[in-house]
Structure formats: structure tokens, C-alpha cells
Amino acid sequence: MKIRARYAHLVFSFLMSSLMAFIMTAVVTAINTGLAGDFVGRWAHAFLLAWMPAFACVLVLAPPIRKWVNARTVQD
């Protein structure tokens, strides 16, 4: 499947924020409340709350961070 260039940043932001929120909320939920009981329900709730701000952050912050890193990167 090919993605049109104009949608690449949107798709990247969606995937990056989804994976980041998925992993981080699982880890933090497990640390704070344990794996027993209704872990999946607590984790899903945390994920749903965390994903939207994560998506917004990646969508807004990735381009300037990429630009900053590229400006300071040299070829080996």
C-alpha cells in the first residue's frame, strides 16, 4: 500500500502516537495498578485518554524537531 506524500506526516503522526500511547499506557498502568483484575479495562481507558494529546504532540512537534535534528546532522 502506498501513501500519498501529502498524507505522509498525518499517517506518521497517527502511527507514532498510537504506538507510543499503547506502550506507555500499558507500562504505566501495570506499574501503578498491577496486572491483576481489570488490567485491560484500566489500560484501555488510559490509552483512550492519552492517545489524543499524543497525536497532537507528534503532529505539531515532529516537523520542527526533525528540522532541528537535520540542521545539526552531518554525513559520515
- Cα dihedral 59, 61, 64, 68 sign: negative
CB 58 within 8 A of CB 20: yes
Give the Cα separation of 32 and 25 in Å (integer).
Answer: 10
Write down the pLDDT at residue 1. Answer: 84
The reply to whether the predicted model has a pTM over 0.85 is no
What end-to-end distance do the CA atoms of the chain give, in Å?
33
Task: Categorize the per-residue pLDDT at 76 as very low, low, confident or very high, splitting at 50, 70 and 90.
Answer: confident
Average pLDDT over residues 42-52: 96
Which tens digits make up the pLDDT trace of 1-40?
899 999 999 999 999 999 999 999 999 999 999 998 999 9
